[in-house]
Every structure is written in structure tokens, then in C-alpha cells.
Amino acid sequence: MGLIKLKNKYTGCMLGAAIGDALGKQNEGVRRKEILKMGYIKDYGRAPTGSPGDKLRAGQYTDDTEQMLVLAQSLIAFNGFKAVDFAYRIAKWGVKVRNDPSRSPFLGPSSSSAIDKLNSGISWKESGSDIPSCGSAMRVAPIGLFYDCLENVESNAVLSSIPTHKSKGAIAGAVAVAVAVRCSLDGFDRHEIIRQTCERASNYDIGFAKKIELAYESRNEMPDIVFDRLGTSYYVYDTVPCAFYCFSRYFDDPEMAIIESVNAGGDTDSIGCITGALCGALHGIERFSKKWINGLENKDLVENIATMIYGKTRGLIRT
Ligand SMILES: [Mg+2]
């Protein structure tokens, strides 16, 4: 692997997340057995009727990427993570989504209750749901991009989870993804990325960290066996380990990693989103097919936001 421009890793991370999300929405809620019957999805298309993204066009991403962009914009505006501002932006985003019939199904039980609480004036420290779903892990990548020391990545990933997801599992999930994004950006090898991730995540939920380890140790086993073993539900204990499995299994082949992740079954948009973020941070934007990049909704917006985060971290953009 030659030298990859750091900026391309920033844009690769956020575009990878959006690509995985947009591809994965086509299989959201579909069982693995059905996916195998229909054949693997490798390009954009519509989501199945009855799934949260069923009104979206091919190449459009879902709530995972939308929330990731909200977090990134808050980081840019305040030159760092500010919980009050992020909570305010998520609450505003929630109202907009609820009033848009094509996007209102995005709001699952955790986000929905958190957004109601925030909008009724409850503090971001109290508004989070106790359901250990993956909503804070799926959007957290920009924290790993923004902070370069793992201590800060960890503490800010925790804070970014709390306004909507305050269970120990959800917090551990957000920490895991943010830490792995940072370690991938820094070009650590696969073993070291997992070691750092598990060490940081185990500060919040040892069981969750053990499942990441299990996913990593399963990397040479066949996807059918492993997805069955790990589970593919929207719980953080399933989605995040599945993404780490795909990432570890195809460590040198980001396209294969994403294709495997969006065909896992279950919560495929989030599994794809997290896998895409990790692969992009490791390999950079150039390793994704042009077809995926050009077919993506708002690709320029996603790329510009990632470039602005890169600029902030290099001290190139001051506001
Ligand atoms: Mg989604």
C-alpha cells in the first residue's frame, strides 16, 4: 500500500459511510436467507416496501448519514464537540424528518423519544434513550476524524452518544467506531486497530468489547456462519460487531468489505454505514468505485464537509 493522502482518508471515511448506507438500505430488514435467494446487492437501488427508506430513490442515503452530517456540521461550527449544540441540531433535524413523509419512518423508538424530550426542554444529559440500539455508533465517525489523540476521541464519542443513546452498550459502540476510525486513519494494522478499539470500549461495556473480539477472531470463517453467530439486528451488540467482521475479513479490499456488509441482512444500512466509514478511513476515497461515488446523493456536500473537518484539524480553516 503506497502513501495515501490524508485528505483522501477524510473524504473516504464520510463518503464510505454514505455509500454503505445508501447500498445497505436496499436490504434493511431483509433476512439473510432472502438476500442469498435474490443475490447480493452491489449497486444502488430502491429499498423494499415497508422498510424505513422505501420512499427514497436509488443512491439516496438514510438517517445514518444524515445524523453523521449533523454531527460533522456541529464539530465544524464549534471547532470541537459541544453537546448542547449537537443536541439542539439533532432535535431540529428530528422535527424536519418527522414533517417529511419520505423520511419520517427514519425515526426509530430511541431517536424519537430523545427528540421529543429535547424539544420539550429536557437537558441533553437526560434526554437519551436506554435502548442499546446503534444510533450513536452509526453517526460517530466524524469524532474519530476530528480528534487525533485517542483519549479525546473516546471522551467525545461518549458525549456524542448521550443526548440520544445513554445505555452502556450504545456508548461503548460509539467509542468503538470512533476509535477504530482514528486508528484506521493513522494506518494501524488490523490487529492493533481491534486491540485499541476493545480496550477503549471495555471501559463502558466489557460484553460489547468481547463481541468485537469475537467478530475479529471469526474473520476467516464464512459470512453465513458469522452473521448467524453475531446477529444482525439494530442492537449495537449486533450491528457494530458485524461491521468489524466485514472490515477485518476484507481488510485489503474495501469494496468487498462494503458488499459483504450490505448483504448481511437485518440492519444492513447501519452495518454498511459503519463498515464504509472504517474502510474509507483506512484506504481513502480512491479505493471506491467511481460508480458508487458518482451515483451517491449529495456526494459534493458529503465530500465538502469531510474536507472542512480535515481543514480544521490541519489548522487550514479558521472561523
Ligand atoms: Mg438508517
Over the range 118-143, which residues count as b (16 or more CB within 10 Å of their CB) and which as e? beeeeebeebbbebbbbbbbbbbbbb
Largest Cα span, the chain: 52
Residues 6+ apart with CB under 8 A from 97: 63, 66, 103, 104, 106, 107
Structural domain for 20, as ranges: 3-313
Measured in Å, residue 25 CA sits from the centre of ligand 1 at 7
How many Å lie between the centroid of ligand 1 and the Cα of residue 279?
19
Residue 116 lies in a domain: yes
Q: Ligand 1 center to residue 90 CA distance, Å? A: 15
* pLDDT tens track, the chain, 319 positions: 456 799 999 999 999 999 999 999 999 999 999 999 999 999 999 998 888 889 999 999 999 999 999 999 999 999 999 999 999 999 999 999 999 999 998 888 888 999 999 999 999 999 999 999 999 999 999 999 999 999 999 999 999 999 999 999 999 999 999 999 999 999 999 999 999 999 999 999 999 999 999 999 999 999 999 999 999 999 999 999 999 999 999 999 999 999 999 999 999 999 999 999 999 999 999 999 999 999 999 999 999 999 999 999 987 765 5
| In a domain? residue 299 | yes
CA–centroid distance, 64 to ligand 1, in Å, is 5
**Residue 274 and residue 10 in contact, taking contact as beta carbons nearer than 8 Å:** no
**End-to-end alpha carbon distance in the chain:** 36
Query: Based on C-alpha coordinates, what's the Rg of the chain?
Result: 17
pLDDT of residue 266: 96
Q: Which residues contact 157 (CB under 8 A, 6 or more apart)?
A: 140, 143, 144, 171, 174, 175, 177, 178, 179
Within a domain: 97: yes
* Residue 104 is assigned to a structural domain of this protein: yes
Contact 122, 107 (CB under 8 A): no
Count how many domains the chain has: 1
Cα 149 to ligand 1 centre (Å)? 29
36: domain CATH number? 1.10.4080.10
Q: Specify if 319 maps to a domain.
A: no
Q: What is the pLDDT of residue 106?
A: 87
Q: Residue 3: its pLDDT value, please? A: 64
119 contacts 95 by C-beta, under 8 angstroms: yes
> What angle is formed at CA 299 by the lines to CA 107 and CA 241, rounded to 5 degrees?
55
